[in-house]
A = this chain, B = another copy of it.
Amino acid sequence: MNAPTSVIGTAAATEANAFLSLANGDRLDIEAIRQHVPVRRCKHAAGQGVYHAGQPFLALYLVHSGSYKTCELADDGREQVTGFRMRGSLMGTESIGLKNYSCDVIALEDSEAWELPYPAILRACLHLPELQAYITGALAAEVRSDRSWMLMLGTLAAERRVAAFLLDVAARYAHLGYSAKHFILRMSRIDMASFLALKHETVSRALSRLHDLHLISVQRREVQVLDVDGLRALAGSGLVLN
C-alpha cells in the first residue's frame, strides 16, 4: 500500500508506432500494413461493443489502448467471457472464413482499437507475405492459449484458477512494460468469474483467501503480488502466453 499508485499506468509502450507481436518474438510494424490497408481509429467507451455475433464480418481490430473482453453466447441466453485483450492483440481473427462475426467484443474501459478492413488485409497479404504468416501464427497462438486455459479450468480448483489468472494478467502487463507486481484489474468480478467458470462470489472468496495467505494484497480491483513463487506453486506452473 505504500507503493505509489502512480506507478500504475506507467507504460513503456506509448503513442509511438504500434506493432503486431507474435509468440515467437516476431514483430510486424503496423506502418508497413498502413501502406496497403486503410486504418480507421475507433474509440470505444467502457461497455461499448466493437462488434457483435451475427454482424457482417468486415474487419479485424488491433487493440491500441485500453482493454476488451470477448464473449461467446448461446441462443438460450447463456454467455461466457472467453478472453481479455490488451494492446497489441488482434481481434476478430476467430471469424475469418465466416460471413458474420461469431462472438462479441466489448470494451472494459475507455479504449481504442484500429480497424483493419478484411478485404484490404487479404490484398495486402499478396504484397506482404509476412502479414499472412503473422495472421496464421496469431491464430495458432490463440488456439494454444485457449487450450492452455482449458487445461487450467479442467484441472485446477477455484483458488488455483484465480492464482493462475492473476499470474497471467501480471505477465501480460509485464510484457507491455507495466509493473507485474502492482496493477489494476480492468474487468469486474463477474467477468473474471465467467472467464474462470466460477461464480463471482467464489472469485471474491478466492481473492480474499489469497490475501489472507499473504500471496497478494487486494482491494477491489487493485492487486499487488506479494509472493510470486507462492502463487506459481498454487497455479501449478506456467500458462502458454498469448
Task: Contact check, A139 vs B149: say whether CB atoms are below 8 A apart.
Answer: no
Residues of chain B contacted by A80 (CB below 8 angstroms): 150-151, 154-155
**Stoichiometry, copies per complex:** 2
The CA of A103 and the CA of B194, in the complex, are separated in Å by: 26
Report chain B residues within 8 Å CB of A194.
154
Interface centre among A133, A146, A194 (most CB of B within 10 A): A146
Cβ contact of A93, chosen from B93, B140, B149, cutoff 8 A: B140
> A94 contacts the other chain (Cβ, under 8 Å)?
yes
Given A22-B97, A95-B140, residue A153 in contact with residue B153 (CB < 8 A): yes
Complex CA distance for A102 and B140, rounded to whole angstroms: 10
Asked if A197 is an interface residue, CB under 8 A from chain B, the answer is: yes
Of the candidates A22, A76, A98, A143, the one having the most CB atoms from chain B within 10 angstroms of its own CB is A143
Considering the chains assembled together, what is the distance between the CA atoms of A85 and B98 in angstroms?
22
